[in-house]
Amino acid sequence: GENVEQHPSTLSVQEGDSAVIKCTYSDSASNYFPWYKQELGKRPQLIIDIRSNVGEKKDQRIAVTLNKTAKHFSLHITETQPEDSAVYFCAAILSNDYKLSFGAGTTVTVRA
């Protein structure tokens, strides 16, 4: 199966600064990489995703980059706001079984 590692486990940033979370995966057959935001006691919310045929994707203040050769992908949040405070999970899916393998999560705190 797929193994996804995520760093850092916690991240504290000043409002307005950028936040970067990095993940690595083990199986080169993985081809879909979603990022989820989870607030306490709530369901994970998909915030952005990237497929293996794309190197970068951006949606307003959020961007994701993928390096297939190195098997890592990163989430970038610019101009952070207090409402960005949450736990963020990266995940990867193998093309043949559609099972999500989650990273351990990053608790992001945006200081006002």
Q: Which residues contact 80 (CB under 8 A, 6 or more apart)?
A: 13, 14, 15, 16, 17, 18, 19, 61, 108, 110
Residue 102 interacts with other proteins (CB under 8 A): yes or no: yes
Residues 21-60 that bind other proteins (CB under 8 A): 32, 34, 41-46
| Residue number, 45 or 67, with CB nearest to other proteins | 45
Bridge partner list, 96? none
23, 103, 108, 110: which one binds other proteins (CB under 8 A):
103
Binding region for other proteins (CB under 8 A): 32, 34, 41-46, 89, 93, 98-105
